[in-house]
């Protein structure tokens, strides 16, 4: 298997992970709006979501530049 093909596959997996994080963000927003989660609990979870986004972006850059 070529290195380029492997790199493309990894980038595709990263894109799927980014989509999952975006879905989680939407679900968290809905949970707050529907009263299933407090604003303060959501703020902590949102911090984790933002950190995941940063890590995925860094991973994408690393794979793209290798």
- In the 8-state DSSP scheme, what is residue 48? H
Does pTM top 0.95 for this prediction? Answer: no
Backbone angles phi, psi at 8, to 5 degrees: -65, -40
Note the pLDDT tens digit of each residue in 4-44: 679 999 999 999 999 999 999 999 999 999 999 999 999 99
């Amino acid at each position: 298997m070529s290195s380029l093909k492997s790199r493309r596959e990894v980038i595709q997996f990263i894109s799927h992970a980014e989509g999952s994080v975006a879905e989680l963000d939407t679900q968290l927003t809905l949970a707050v709006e529907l009263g299933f989660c407090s604003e303060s609990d959501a703020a902590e979870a949102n911090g984790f979501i933002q950190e995941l986004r940063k890590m995925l972006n860094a991973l994408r850059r690393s794979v793209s530049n290798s």
